Structure 1
């Protein structure tokens, strides 16, 4: 390990211009540097407009518990192809679209809600 550690923050903006940060409500301030919480219900479609302001590294998002097409997976396939959602270069944008399937909701013995996570990854 070196003496320099790079970090990227995932921030929420008020709209797709990325000009004004969305204020974090007191109930979510405890998250500190963690990215925004994405809330959805069964049969919703989550749309995330992602812009990489991180400088010189590519970043992406990868969802768990939802459906996605290849260009919204947020990870490369080992098939020799490259898609827009594989890695977002610095200064670029990508729109991720994630439908929330019925299987993502609570089952007969589950509590509501069912938490899922998204992975944030860096590609050099």
Structure 2
């Protein structure tokens, strides 16, 4: 008893100024505290402008099922290159760019469409 648990919420804004929240439509209200769903089709390019308003912790996003360059991988490792996109410090922004490759296309035995997922991580 007496423990305090803080949560970071991933929210969608109307544009890169982060001044106005994008209203969530009734069909997506069931997601509760889960972040916005990112929709894309094969050969689209997903662009996410990420701003960390979480206070004192670094956060990132890491995609699954799409292509990414190192600066949009959303995972840190010591390889001697730029750490852009590894972890986004509080108050900072990063633009993630994720092309959706043809291999993400549904196959004859796949559910349609194949979900591309993004995981969220915290770095202390």
Bigger shift: 106-115 or 51-60? 106-115
Question: C-alpha displacement at 1:19, in angstroms?
Answer: 0.1
User: What number of residue pairs does the alignment pair up?
Assistant: 124
- For 2:76 and 2:82, the matched residues in 1 are separated by 7
Query: What SS does structure 1 have at the residue aligned with 2:97?
Result: strand
For the residues of structure 1 that align with 2:80 and 2:47, how far apart are their CA atoms?
Answer: 27
**Structure 1 residue ranges without an equivalent (≥5):** none
1:71-104 deviation per Cα after TM superposition (whole angstroms, max 9, x unaligned): 0000012424442100000000000000001111
Name stretches of at least 5 consecutive residues in structure 2 with no aligned partner: none
What SS does the aligned partner of 2:75 have?
A: coil
Query: TM-score, length-normalised on structure 1?
Result: 0.94
**Partner-residue secondary structure (3-state), 1:87:** coil
Superposed CA deviations along residues 30-67 of structure 1, whole A, max 9, x for unmatched, are 00000000000000000000000000110000000000
Q: Distance in 2 between matches of 1:120 and 1:110?
A: 25
Q: Runs in 1 of length 4+ with deviation above 4 angstroms?
A: none
CA RMSD of aligned residues (A): 1.6
- 2:23 aligned counterpart, secondary structure: coil
Normalising by structure 2, report the TM-score.
0.94
